[in-house]
Amino acid sequence: MNITHHNIPGAPAPTGYCHATVAETGKIVFLSGQVGADEKGTLPPGLSDQIKNALVNMGHACTAAGADVRNIVKVTFYVVNWNVTMMQHIIEGTTAAKEVYNFPDTALTLISVNGLFTPDMLVEIEGVAVI
């Protein structure tokens, strides 16, 4: 499987994602939304830690499906009551997750939502991988 990542020529390079991802033929793996609970089901109170856990959970889901996180071509972050002052939490959480799994800087969409499954959940992350 050949996956390439591209940015818009002449535009500032984004941090932590890319503008477009190309996956040449393969099986498509749809990764359900992963939340920030750890392996024991404990949900930490902070957004950074929940992002890290959600991404690590996504890595586990990739492995279970026979994929690798490097096969991820698109992710969507659903963040409760997002505002730009929360960007540091995104950076901290994704950086911490990259210490566990070698996530690519892939196509990304961030959507602000009013709430998730339980009031303590601050983020849910879904993805698509191609193997």
Q: What whole-number percentage of the chain has pLDDT above 70?
A: 100
Say if residue 44's pLDDT is above 80.
yes
User: What pLDDT score was predicted for residue 103?
Assistant: 94
Report which of 48, 36, 5 is spatially closest to residue 23, judged by C-alpha positions.
5
- Does domain 24-130 correspond to CATH entry 3.30.1330.40? yes
Q: Which of 58, 19, 13 is nearest to 4 (CA)?
A: 19
Is the model's pLDDT at 8 over the cut of 80? Answer: yes
CB atoms within 10 A of CB 83: 8
The span from the CA of 96 to the CA of 4, in Å, is: 24
Percent of the chain with pLDDT over 90: 93
CB 54 within 8 A of CB 35: yes
pTM for the whole thing? 0.91
The C-alpha atoms of residue 46 and residue 108 are separated, in whole angstroms, by 21
Where are the chain's structural domains?
24-130
pLDDT at 109: 97
Q: Could you tell me where the beta strands, DSSP code E, fall in the chain?
A: 2-6, 20-24, 28-35, 72-80, 107-113, 123-130
